[in-house]
Amino acid sequence: AKLELVRRKKGAAVVARLVKKFWLNIGKLVQFKRNETLNQKKSVDLNRHLELLVDHTQSLTKMVAKDLVVGHPEDDKDYERVRDTQREKDDQEAFEEMEAEEQTTKEENVREVKELEADNRMSLEELKAKYSYSKVAAAAAAADSAATGTSAAAAAAA
């Protein structure tokens, strides 16, 4: 009876280690995915900012070139009005892009939460199958059963 209890405790310990290792791997995967998503968003933001800067630089270059050809505007108020209008337009475009990005981020967060909730409703076997964990678990169980001197069939029957 004591041997049976010890054998069961060892089996439970093996299963507990496998479950802990599985969830640690899932945590690493989620962290990696989160970091990858953040890096992509940063890259997109930097590209958009660069495009805005290039567009603004091009518009300024065109204004300077126009001034060189035509000469300085006779009325500085008209020149400032054109420049202010361009800045307002650039600011509005940047604001609209930021709003669109926030909406995309919210949608991605909602989708990820739904995926995690779906994973939460799955059984352990389904999660193992989904994340290809069964091969690793089988190899670990075989190694543990070899270490305890029992056959894989005896371990499976227990």
pTM: 0.35
The H or E element containing residue 112 is helix 76-121
Rounded distance between C-alpha atoms, residue 78 and residue 76, angstroms: 5
Token readout for 126 is 């389904």
- Is the pLDDT reported for residue 21 higher than 70? yes
Q: What is the model's pLDDT at position 135? A: 58
What's the pLDDT band for 23 if we cut at 50, 70, 90? very high
> What is the DSSP annotation of 45-93?
HHHHHHHHHHHHHHHHHHHHHHHHHH-S-S-HHHHHHHHHHHHHHHHHH
Higher pLDDT, 120 or 79: 120
Instruction: Give the chain's mean pLDDT.
Output: 80
pLDDT at residue 74 in the model: 54
Nearest to 122 by CA among 31, 17, 22: 22
* 66 compared with 29, residue with greater pLDDT: 29
| 152 pLDDT more than 50 | no
